């Protein structure tokens, strides 16, 4: 979990020094789409060649505009602090080109943050991850792992479910979903930005292990994507093989 904890600490550090408010991207948007969008947005802002929003809106709604043109138009509209630009993106998102739904979602969020900054006369920052969030909470995908040679029995599953609910509530977090295999529990949860991931999962593992010492101390935590059971199993197999080769 070390890499995710470092990312979390960086976000906390930035927020601690940030004088203003922040918005969390609510929707789940593929991280590659996000990277492409924000790189393109950065180039548009550097160019400083803003067009008339009314012209951009006409082009966005034109049947003659192709997908690449609409991508660029959405970015340009998102960089204009006018309500008309935001409403145009909002209207487009109600019936978007299927390929541009995520792109338009990012544009609308960026436009909203820009307008709020303008209206409130204070800085706003957008925090976006692959799994999105809710309010001031980020969504995480978490994998709790059985110790080597052990499998989850019914009692273990009940303990995990109970402790997750109790400890998440204690930390103002929300358990959204939990699925079990014999060797791991796959969890989706919303956790406030200002809560310590390491502290929460150390507490969960310690409490669960009072009922049989069955959970591994390592936890998989990511806010980039939801892993499939096959991806998790492959990862665990690789980790075990790596551990065994290190012993020899």
Neighbour count for residue 213 (Cβ, 10 Å): 9
Domain assignments of the chain as residue spans, ordered by start: 30-126, 133-247
Q: What is the pLDDT of residue 240?
A: 75
Q: Which two tokens stand for residue 101?
A: 């739904």
Q: What is the pLDDT of residue 123?
A: 65
Fold of the domain spanning 133-247 = Alpha-Beta Plaits (3.30.70)
Q: Which two tokens stand for residue 32?
A: 């590659």
3-state secondary structure of 229: helix
Percent of the chain with pLDDT over 90: 49
Global pTM? 0.72
Residue of 154, 146, 164, 156 lying closest to 236 (CA atoms): 146
Give the range among 99-103, 192-196, 213-217 with minimum mean pLDDT. Answer: 192-196
pLDDT digits (tens, 9 = 90+) for 27-82: 888 888 988 998 988 888 777 666 788 889 988 888 788 999 999 999 999 988 88
Q: Which two tokens stand for residue 41?
A: 């947005």
Q: What is the pLDDT of residue 36?
A: 92
Question: Which has more pLDDT, 166 or 16?
Answer: 166
Long-range CB pairs of 113-122, under 8 A, 24+ apart, other chains included: 113/23, 114/78, 114/79, 114/80, 114/81, 115/81, 115/83, 115/86, 116/21, 116/23, 117/20, 117/81, 118/81, 120/21, 122/19, 122/20, 122/21
Question: Tokens 């409403």, residue?
Answer: 87
Give the range among 13-22, 129-138, 223-232 with minimum mean pLDDT. Answer: 13-22
In sequence order, which residues have a C-beta less than 8 Å from that of residue 74 and are 6 or more positions away?
60, 89, 92, 100, 103, 104, 107
pLDDT digits (tens, 9 = 90+) for 143-194: 999 998 899 999 999 999 999 999 999 999 999 999 999 999 999 999 998 8
Would the pLDDT of 83 be above 80? yes
Interhelix angle 101-120/83-94, rounded to 10 degrees, is: 150
Tell me how far apart the alpha carbons of residues 55 and 217 are, in angstroms, rounded to a whole number.
Answer: 57
Tell me how far apart the alpha carbons of residues 15 and 57 are, in angstroms, rounded to a whole number.
Answer: 35
Average pLDDT, the chain: 85
Judge contact between 187 and 160, C-beta under 8 A: no
Question: Tokens 């947005």, residue?
Answer: 41
Judge contact between 85 and 56, C-beta under 8 A: yes
Interhelix angle 83-94/53-60, rounded to 10 degrees, is: 10
- Over range 109-117, report the average pLDDT: 86
Tell me how far apart the alpha carbons of residues 139 and 192 are, in angstroms, rounded to a whole number.
Answer: 9
Tell me how far apart the alpha carbons of residues 99 and 106 are, in angstroms, rounded to a whole number.
Answer: 13
Judge contact between 177 and 188, C-beta under 8 A: yes
């Amino acid at each position: 979990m070390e890499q995710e904890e470092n990312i979390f600490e960086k976000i906390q550090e930035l927020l601690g020094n940030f004088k203003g408010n922040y918005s969390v991207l609510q929707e789940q948007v593929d991280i590659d789409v996000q990277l492409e969008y924000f790189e393109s947005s950065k180039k548009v802002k550097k160019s400083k060649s803003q067009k008339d929003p009314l012209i951009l809106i006409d082009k966005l709604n034109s049947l003659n505009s192709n997908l690449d043109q609409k991508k660029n138009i959405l970015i340009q509209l998102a960089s204009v602090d006018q309500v008309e630009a935001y409403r145009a993106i909002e209207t487009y998102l109600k019936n978007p080109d299927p390929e541009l739904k995520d792109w338009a979602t990012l544009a609308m969020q960026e436009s909203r943050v820009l307008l709020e900054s303008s209206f409130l006369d204070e800085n706003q920052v957008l925090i976006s991850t692959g799994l999105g969030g809710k309010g001031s909470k980020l969504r995480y995908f978490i994998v709790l792992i059985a110790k080597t040679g052990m499998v989850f029995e019914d009692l273990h599953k009940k303990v995990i479910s109970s402790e997750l609910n109790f400890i998440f509530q204690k930390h103002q977090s929300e358990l959204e979903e939990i699925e079990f295999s014999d060797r791991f529990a796959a969890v989706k949860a919303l956790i406030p930005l200002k809560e310590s991931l390491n502290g929460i999962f150390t507490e969960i593992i310690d409490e669960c292990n009072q009922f049989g010492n069955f959970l591994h101390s390592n936890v998989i935590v990511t806010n980039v994507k939801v892993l499939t059971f096959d991806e998790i199993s492959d990862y665990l197999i690789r980790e075990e093989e790596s551990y065994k080769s290190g012993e020899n």
